[in-house]
Structure 1
């Protein structure tokens, strides 16, 4: 049966319900968001003379919750305009409307009696065949199924989103006992393809996969921290980016999520998993119980493991909780010799063997921590999952781990992992010893560009399903490498398409990257039919290598700097005017030069989570790789007869002058950094390279021809320049911008006006590029610009001077 999801009903508008509603609106679905009717008037309603029968009162709860969600940061919605796709109502007046939806998602409080009451109400109005799912994270499905009709049970499953639904990729699908296979298959597919998630099939066990392993990991740490005599700061230092996890690491993350949320799930596992061999680990340590009693729950109560206070000088200071005295003390920086050894190791996977061999307290911590994790996950098969890769997928997608438990075990070495387990007085699972005995020394392998995993029943490596829609660069890099230098690897994606993958730190664009892009275009024009510029790092590119620019400027090597800027501009123009289609695939941060590259591609296939902007003002310059030229060109293309053209140009000027960064790819269309009708958005980042390749093939096979160079860009000369200069003067006079900000803005104004021409004139791209380069170079001679660049290099933050 073919199923199309046009309209979704979300029952329950709390943080999760509103977040789920927003994410369905993100992907273009129409959403009906419902919640209960308030039982009494609030003070505002009384003052207005409203009654309990007024629609505004009856929908107050749902409207207040949605409004609050839309105002929250980070935003749950790609573009505020998409909120118009959500209509609101209440469970008494509007429940009948669910008869017209394709999918009903229940997101009410975690109480079985309430859920059963809601399902009973839903069943009165639901059209047979409609999908019905619950976002529960702890109530067994067979309890929720009780008393429901056969059709309801056949279409009922849990679809467990992780909070916030827009940003966390895990989508656990847990079928009801009578749920049809076709329904499960559809939910798995829809999660991946349309919601942009990692769909993980889970069993109906307490906390499913993600929370079962994730909460075990945190509870295990809670017990180890006292045993090893470690501080909160030390644990966060050891469990953050060094092992491929978020900066907030462990204790800061608990503060953000809320200690009560974690305790609720831990208690649920403790009560419902009496046979778990690590059962006692889910019991709360004394210091956690004290925090709960004191309501030290984290950010929501103003203090948790950390507490923000204001000093006598008015400056904010972060204090940390001493777990022995239960008092807040001044935070102390954590340092470990073992971590120093990993500083030159860029790949996280290569750090694990170093970390477990550490001779200090950090080494001991990692040995205990990983031994406990490995020992636990090996026994969860087949209890929570039949396949080991689902556990890894759940931890990466739900908890932001770069590597799942079995991938970490592989990185350390399977036999070394067994040694760690035994050193902690535990034993490897039978299936693990059988795997090693059979000669298989890893949980994963790569063959013909695909990932294989060790399948326990068949005792052999089996291809991981669902990879056909993906191109995984890690899997093809060695076998498909065409050319490389220190900055890029050029890979053959097949079907005549090459890919340029940046390999520099933070994917910055320097001379080696530019040389690599030019070489890739040479190769593609000679022997291939298209080029993709894409990678699968955390960010597409944070921009030009400002360290190189700083060194040249300090040494006053202005001729070399001029040549470097020209090389950047010329490379961007090659992207635009090569003999083959060029596709940019930005994701994450695509800033400065990373944005400029995308502006010059024939087509952009952007991930939905793309944060794009020309941010050069932050380091005291203007976009110098064609960005200033391109925004002038794009403004010119929007000029229409009888329009006030300066208004259009001003918008594009402000995009650069205020260093605007889109909060999603969809917002980049509003800034004209992406172009409607030409560029596209992919919700699932894992599909991005494959999608970009597909478009390169389509363009090539449709008979791609090199576009003609532009010499018809309308610039407004003195008319626009005068307007900009008056504006920067008044902004400076009102102390909104500094004297140096004004100088940078005036340089940009000169470029985007096309100089001080006496009248509107049509110019070429090269004319604007020359103006842009001259302005960029002159700003690099300014002391205050050098101070800004140096500050950014030192701190990663912009300086206002």
Structure 2
């Protein structure tokens, strides 16, 4: 059940039973009983809120979930002393190690990125998963239809409540629209419920008007009404049909109006491959010729998880070094175009903004970040250093802070530690402290829904004030003196068994780039000098067997290998 009711349908990973453990079974019982007892109408679904016997037994046994260390799940030590998660067998009421579940219906949705697009496939499943989706969604649709007007007169308010309060990516009426109003009504009937009479007049709960704003079916008037506050949003899904100027398999360009265009990354997990970089360069070309500014933003779950690792692994295994070198150089050139184009470029990161996504953000003229942004350079976790200008950019930013009487090595050490440890800021505000966002130019918005519009306003303002194309900067690097400090530090870390030999190799090569290579004294160099050094180091590390092991492990398991 938890596999079927979690992230696959746009709900929290804790899904159903794990969520009950986190909240507490006693709380679950109180809430369910309270809802059941307060129901007065025939359609209050009171039977749904009647607790099964096993929940009452769990409450009596004080198996309340996380607060009592056991509920539907329990952490136990196996014979080898390692922790395992055991699940409660509801027939025997004993805990046991659960095997992995597999459903053919889920396999059909693997290539569908957005949860909202999966529902049509899920309800057609021929296995138990399909049966669960049909029954649960049918009951859900019937239930929410009868909560209008009891809970709210407007369907969008119920959807807003489920998104904000329960972490659903899509509200119940949005999901109903996704499967079709008539189909949803049929599912409710098959599940043994009837939807409310007002739904019979509905063709669809939501539409998009000519201005690209969402409108909803108003039960009271029988017509469609505007959702208040929509004027503060730009919803890319709504403008995609009429405002898309160009698209390929991984990206698209939309006209936001007022002379500003948007570049949207739309690849799987918003990874940055060749098709995305081609789109980015096309967007900059178009903005420089015909528009006033460019926003780089999307409204997916994450801004970008970074470069296309599968492509890098394939090239490295085949030892196709020339093509890999060209691919990295193209990435670097694209980031430098973000920095040095003739029009203002505003990047709007949110969610996971890792590796290349972070590098793109750091090269923007300005950043309009969502408060909930997890951003950082995480390349050491896959055995390489940031190769798209991230290492260069930290060296550049650190050199700006050098003062004549300052202990310069300490400032450089902070940048080194952020990259070497793959540190990720857990919010946009922490990104200021790490030097990824800059106080003098970058801003944070709390409401992610307003982010694209806010970024557009910033780009427009910069253009109206007379944007001047920047010139490439010089970077002061410290050379051998600082390099010795880093080598001593990594030696001590290795001796103390805090890092592996491969970690040390990566860290030493990273340090070499940050200090500008094996220079005899502090020297002023160009950005391109550091980019060349960065790219050469990236390629060297791709030739290491343990780096390839790390990349492969990340692709297979979604987490870093510390070999």
Q: Structures share a fold, TM > 0.5?
A: yes
**Does residue 1:351 correspond to 2:118, yes or no?**
yes
- Equivalents in 1 of 2:241, 2:56: separation in Å? 51
**Does residue 1:781 correspond to 2:543, yes or no?**
yes
RMSD: 1.1
- 2:38 pairs, out of 258, 261, 272, with 272
Contact 2:143 2:195 in 1 (8 A): no
- 1:315 pairs, out of 71, 82, 85, with 82
**Does residue 1:482 correspond to 2:245, yes or no?**
yes
- 1:699 pairs, out of 447, 458, 462, with 462
Deviation at 1:623, TM superposition (A): 0.4
**Does residue 1:403 correspond to 2:170, yes or no?**
yes
- Equivalents in 2 of 1:336, 1:681: separation in Å? 41
> In the alignment, which residue of structure 2 is the partner of 1:438?
none
> In the alignment, which residue of structure 1 is the partner of 2:262?
499
SS of the equivalent of 1:477 reads helix
> In the alignment, which residue of structure 2 is the partner of 1:643?
406
Deviation at 1:345, TM superposition (A): 2.4
Using structure 1 for the length normalisation, give the TM-score. Answer: 0.69
> In the alignment, which residue of structure 2 is the partner of 1:394?
161
**Does residue 1:799 correspond to 2:561, yes or no?**
yes
**Does residue 1:510 correspond to 2:273, yes or no?**
yes
Please tell me whether Structure 1 or Structure 2 has the larger radius of gyration of its CA atoms: 1
**Does residue 1:543 correspond to 2:310, yes or no?**
no
- Equivalents in 2 of 1:410, 1:508: separation in Å? 29
- 2:441 pairs, out of 674, 678, 683, with 678
Deviation at 1:254, TM superposition (A): 1.1
- 2:514 pairs, out of 752, 767, 771, with 752
- Equivalents in 1 of 2:124, 2:204: separation in Å? 20
Deviations 1:71-124 (Å, cap 9, x if unpaired)?
A: xxxxxxxxxxxxxxxxxxxxxxxxxxxxxxxxxxxxxxxxxxxxxxxxxxxxxx
Deviation at 1:744, TM superposition (A): 0.7
Deviation at 1:343, TM superposition (A): 2.0
Deviation at 1:428, TM superposition (A): 2.5
Task: Give structure 2 stretches of 5+ with no counterpart.
Answer: none
SS of the equivalent of 1:295 reads coil
Deviation at 1:462, TM superposition (A): 1.4
Using structure 2 for the length normalisation, give the TM-score. Answer: 0.98
> In the alignment, which residue of structure 2 is the partner of 1:425?
192
- 1:726 pairs, out of 483, 488, 496, with 488
Q: What are the equivalent positions in structure 2 for 1:371-386 lying under 5 Å apart?
A: 371-386=138-153
- Equivalents in 1 of 2:440, 2:187: separation in Å? 56
SS of the equivalent of 1:308 reads strand
Task: Give structure 1 stretches of 5+ with no counterpart.
Answer: 1-234, 436-440
Q: What are the equivalent positions in structure 2 for 1:423-502 lying under 5 Å apart?
A: 423-435=190-202, 441-448=203-210, 449-502=212-265
- Equivalents in 1 of 2:169, 2:129: separation in Å? 20
- Equivalents in 2 of 1:706, 1:263: separation in Å? 63
- Equivalents in 2 of 1:746, 1:346: separation in Å? 38
Q: What are the equivalent positions in structure 2 for 1:268-307 lying under 5 Å apart?
A: 268-275=34-41, 277-307=44-74
> In the alignment, which residue of structure 2 is the partner of 1:559?
322
Deviation at 1:320, TM superposition (A): 0.7
Q: What are the equivalent positions in structure 2 for 1:33-182 lying under 5 Å apart?
A: none
> In the alignment, which residue of structure 1 is the partner of 2:388?
625
Deviation at 1:277, TM superposition (A): 2.6
Q: What are the equivalent positions in structure 2 for 1:533-612 lying under 5 Å apart?
A: 533-612=296-375
Deviation at 1:604, TM superposition (A): 0.7
| Aligned positions, number | 561
> In the alignment, which residue of structure 2 is the partner of 1:244?
10
Deviation at 1:653, TM superposition (A): 0.8
> In the alignment, which residue of structure 2 is the partner of 1:141?
none
- Equivalents in 2 of 1:695, 1:285: separation in Å? 55
> In the alignment, which residue of structure 2 is the partner of 1:20?
none
SS of the equivalent of 2:353 reads strand
**Does residue 1:258 correspond to 2:24, yes or no?**
yes
Which of 411-420 and 622-631 deviates more? 411-420
SS of the equivalent of 1:478 reads helix
SS of the equivalent of 1:479 reads helix
Deviation at 1:356, TM superposition (A): 1.6
Deviation at 1:452, TM superposition (A): 1.0
- Equivalents in 1 of 2:83, 2:246: separation in Å? 51
- Equivalents in 2 of 1:682, 1:432: separation in Å? 37
Deviation at 1:350, TM superposition (A): 2.5
SS of the equivalent of 1:237 reads coil
Contact 2:174 2:206 in 1 (8 A): yes
